[in-house]
Structure 1
């Protein structure tokens, strides 16, 4: 770590620190944006898939409800517009199913289940609608219109044979006539005249054919004209002649005409027939068709027993038979419609649970996805906060490490300089040779200064010791003192040799450094760098300093031959 730190200058360290802090900042910002994109993507996916599925499921349920409403309206009102509304809503429903199938795989599987069921429901409804069209959407169409036209024609003809009131009026007329003949009272003559007038009005207001009306009116006129002489004769006390006369013949002719155009209770029977028909159409009760058949048999019997012409009997019977046939076709068609309606309801009931489950599933998945997205967003927010705190801590730690790498050597150098100032023993500052760091260069320079100072001090001390030893040798008066002085000189010489050997090692090291730097400069095609030049300069100055120390020693003159021989240092090793 120290070697790596020494290869960086202070500015590079500070720049590296800022770069690392910026990288951490960008990493935090990048993670924040990644988290934001992730959460945004989750919400987009939530809207694109689950919200879409929920909306389509709700829309499909609404459309299905609209289909059923239009279906019920058609079954109640039997109008073509409601059938068209069913088809329109079904088309919208199938379009929404296509959109739902494109959302995701689960939706496609749900649509694969719904589509055949809805197709079956649509086919069932079309069958029901076609059956109703065949039966008749209103009273004038289909089978219903066919038998209704027959019964209306039958009812219209029945009015021609409904002469019960005329026949009763004729009988009332004959009664008043008999009372006049028996009692010879004027008031009975007035009643006859009044009854003739009422019969004339009833004939005019009847539905009898025009020829029959004309014949009846002519006979009533003849009756009134022939009755007046008979009434005057009776009131004058004449003979009643048994109540016979021209008026009696006219009355007989009127009676014959009425009998020839009379089917007793035909109109009432036809009204009763229509009543049971309406009851069946209204309630759909199966007990009414047998009643219709029974009433029709009674009408046939009435027609057969009447005195009307055979052609009229055939016409009335034919209309009645056509009506009855059409009515029972309608009964059968209504039964088929009921069966088709049950099939349609069954198809709709199979669709409804799937629609409900699809909507419930969409709501459940929507809620679950919202919860998952919220939890993921909370987790991402916590992680983002954690990443920011971690980046802050790492940035602070890195800043502390870089600051420490700068401040600690400076503090050590400050202590060394203080020691140098006051002469205290001074250790070396930790430094890496060849480093590019300015603090490391200062440490190397300071170490060199301390080394030179130590060399100078050691050389100076040895010089003092040598000078003292030579003085002692020169002042020695005895052999022992002389030998002791020589021993001291030899010790000083050995110390000098050790110092010279150390200097020799330093010189060789500096020479090796110069050679290595020179070789690196020669191999570097870009030329000499500032650091290489600085390193060569420092080595040269170091060599110069060491040589200066050695040169100062060699320049000191010897006192005499004896002292020179006595103090000559051993050879360098």
Structure 2
């Protein structure tokens, strides 16, 4: 770590520190944005899945309600345009179901179930619509129109056989005729005349065929004329002849005509038949078809027992038979419609609960997912706070470490400078050889200054000791004093020799530095970095200073003219 730090300049070290702090805060910001993006993605999923499910479910429910409303309108009004509306809403409904199937897996399963139910509903509705078309969408079409035409024809013909009032009126005439013959009272004659007038009016206003009307009116005219003659004769002569005469024959012929066209209560029974038919069409009660069948059987019996012509019997019976057959076919169609309607209702009734179940699932899943998102968001917030705290702590640690790496050497150099100014420093600033740090360079320079100062002081002290030893040797008068001076001189020379050896080692060290720098320059194609140039400069200056120290040492020898002598010889010379 110390070697790596020494390779960096102060600016690079500060930049690295700020860069590391910036990386930490970038990581914090990235984590915050990652958390925010994750939360946004989760809420987008909520909107894209659960809200879409709820929205599509609501649209499906609306379309289903609209289809059912159009279906009810068709069943009430029986118009083709409502069939088109049902189809339109069902197509829109299927489109919404297809969109629901693309949301997620659960929605796909729900959509498959909905498609099956809608297919059943659609098939049942088509069957109901076809059955109503077969029955007849109005009273003039289909089976309904067919049996309605027949019953109308039967009703029209029944009016031709509705002679009960005429027959009753004719019987009233005959009774008053008999009363007149018995009592010869003019009041009965007037009563007969009144009844004849009423009978004529009834014949003229009846629904009988025109030919039958003319026959009856002709016979009625014969009866009225002959009865008048008979009554006048009876009142005058008093002879009634047993109540016989032409008028009696005319009355019997009218009775025969009425008998030939009388089916008792035919029109009334036909109206009862129509009534029960309408009751069934209105209410759909299964008891009414049986009533229609019973009334039809009764009418057939009346027709068979009547005295009308065989051709008329066949015509009336055929119309009644066709009516009954068509009506029973209509009843069977109504049964099919009822069955298909139940199937249709069952399918439609399952659609809405399935849709609501899908909405409930979406709500439950949304609530659960919202809880998960809230939990994960809170956890992310806690993690962000932890990361932020760690980033701040690491930033403080980096700042302290970087500052310490700068401040501690500076503080040490300040102490050494104080020692250098006011005393003799003994310590050194820790440095790393080859370091690029300015503080390291300052430490190396300060260490070199302290070393040079120590060398010069040591050299100066050794020289002073040598001078003092020579002086003592020169001033010695006794052999013991001379020996002691020689010993001091010898110690001083050994100290100087040691300093010379130290200078030699320093020169070798600086020489090796210059050799290393030159090798690096050759290896890098002759390019010399600023650090290498500064190293060469410092080494050269240090060598120059050491050479000056050597030159100062050899100066006394040069001035004396010759090679330096041993200490004993110099002492002797002095």
Task: Give the TM-score normalised by the residue count of structure 2.
Answer: 0.90
Q: Deviations over 1:411-437 (max 9, x none)?
A: 221222122221153411122222222
User: Between Structure 1 and Structure 2, how many residues are aligned?
Assistant: 568
Aligned residue number for residue 436 of structure 2: 436
Aligned residue number for residue 384 of structure 1: 384
Cα distance change, pair 568–539 in 1 and its aligned pair in 2 (3 A): farther
Deviation at 1:137, TM superposition (A): 3.1
- Separation in structure 2 between the aligned mates of residue 538 and residue 237 of structure 1, nearest angstrom: 191
Q: Name segments (4+ residues, structure 1) moved above 6 Å.
A: 558-561
| Equivalent residues in 2 for 1:235-384, closer than 5 Å | 238-348=238-348, 354-384=354-384
Matched, 1:43 2:53: no
Deviation at 1:313, TM superposition (A): 0.9
Aligned residue number for residue 204 of structure 2: 204
2:425–2:450 Cα contact (<8 Å) kept: no
Deviation at 1:449, TM superposition (A): 0.9
Determine helix, strand or coil for the equivalent of 2:556: coil
Aligned residue number for residue 415 of structure 1: 415
Aligned residue number for residue 15 of structure 1: 15
Worse-superposed segment, 399-408 or 162-171: 399-408
2:128–2:337 Cα contact (<8 Å) kept: yes
Aligned residue number for residue 462 of structure 2: 462
Q: Deviations over 1:177-201 (max 9, x none)?
A: 3334444444444433332332222
- Separation in structure 2 between the aligned mates of residue 382 and residue 83 of structure 1, nearest angstrom: 62
Q: Deviations over 1:143-164 (max 9, x none)?
A: 2222222112111111111111
Aligned residue number for residue 481 of structure 2: 481
1:121–1:344 Cα contact (<8 Å) kept: yes
- Separation in structure 2 between the aligned mates of residue 96 and residue 548 of structure 1, nearest angstrom: 103
Determine helix, strand or coil for the equivalent of 1:436: coil
1:493–1:568 Cα contact (<8 Å) kept: no
Deviation at 1:445, TM superposition (A): 0.9
Aligned residue number for residue 567 of structure 2: 566
- Separation in structure 1 between the aligned mates of residue 561 and residue 73 of structure 2, nearest angstrom: 147
Aligned residue number for residue 506 of structure 2: 506
- Separation in structure 1 between the aligned mates of residue 198 and residue 324 of structure 2, nearest angstrom: 38
Worse-superposed segment, 158-167 or 494-503: 494-503
Determine helix, strand or coil for the equivalent of 1:556: helix
- Separation in structure 2 between the aligned mates of residue 261 and residue 96 of structure 1, nearest angstrom: 68
Worse-superposed segment, 313-322 or 422-431: 422-431
1:493–1:567 Cα contact (<8 Å) kept: no
Deviation at 1:505, TM superposition (A): 1.1
Aligned residue number for residue 147 of structure 1: 147
Aligned residue number for residue 53 of structure 2: 53
Cα distance change, pair 344–88 in 1 and its aligned pair in 2 (3 A): same
Worse-superposed segment, 306-315 or 533-542: 306-315
Deviation at 1:356, TM superposition (A): 4.3
Determine helix, strand or coil for the equivalent of 2:525: coil
Aligned residue number for residue 214 of structure 1: 214
- Separation in structure 2 between the aligned mates of residue 187 and residue 421 of structure 1, nearest angstrom: 179
Worse-superposed segment, 354-363 or 411-420: 354-363
- Separation in structure 1 between the aligned mates of residue 420 and residue 37 of structure 2, nearest angstrom: 63
Q: Deviations over 1:235-269 (max 9, x none)?
A: 56744444344443333332222222111111122
Deviation at 1:352, TM superposition (A): 5.6
**What are the ranges of 5 or more consecutive residues in structure 2 without an aligned counterpart?**
none
Deviation at 1:358, TM superposition (A): 3.2
Q: Deviations over 1:285-337 (max 9, x none)?
A: 44443333332222112112212111111110111111122222223333333
Deviation at 1:81, TM superposition (A): 3.3
Aligned residue number for residue 122 of structure 1: 122
- Separation in structure 1 between the aligned mates of residue 159 and residue 44 of structure 2, nearest angstrom: 79
Deviation at 1:543, TM superposition (A): 0.7
Aligned residue number for residue 547 of structure 1: 547
1:420–1:426 Cα contact (<8 Å) kept: no
Task: Give the TM-score normalised by the residue count of structure 1.
Answer: 0.90
1:128–1:341 Cα contact (<8 Å) kept: yes
Cα distance change, pair 404–236 in 1 and its aligned pair in 2 (3 A): farther
- Separation in structure 2 between the aligned mates of residue 567 and residue 456 of structure 1, nearest angstrom: 25
Q: Deviations over 1:378-415 (max 9, x none)?
A: 43344334433433333333233222222222222122
- Separation in structure 2 between the aligned mates of residue 210 and residue 21 of structure 1, nearest angstrom: 123
Aligned residue number for residue 401 of structure 2: 401
1:134–1:143 Cα contact (<8 Å) kept: yes
- Separation in structure 1 between the aligned mates of residue 16 and residue 460 of structure 2, nearest angstrom: 47
Deviation at 1:448, TM superposition (A): 0.9
Worse-superposed segment, 170-179 or 62-71: 62-71
Q: Deviations over 1:450-487 (max 9, x none)?
A: 11111112112222222222222222222222212211
RMSD over aligned CA atoms reads 2.9
| Equivalent residues in 2 for 1:99-118, closer than 5 Å | 99-118=99-118
Cα distance change, pair 111–510 in 1 and its aligned pair in 2 (3 A): same
- Separation in structure 2 between the aligned mates of residue 16 and residue 108 of structure 1, nearest angstrom: 56
- Separation in structure 2 between the aligned mates of residue 83 and residue 241 of structure 1, nearest angstrom: 79
- Separation in structure 1 between the aligned mates of residue 384 and residue 211 of structure 2, nearest angstrom: 110
- Separation in structure 2 between the aligned mates of residue 137 and residue 360 of structure 1, nearest angstrom: 42
1:469–1:489 Cα contact (<8 Å) kept: yes
Deviation at 1:568, TM superposition (A): 8.9
**What are the ranges of 5 or more consecutive residues in structure 1 without an aligned counterpart?**
none
Aligned residue number for residue 515 of structure 1: 515
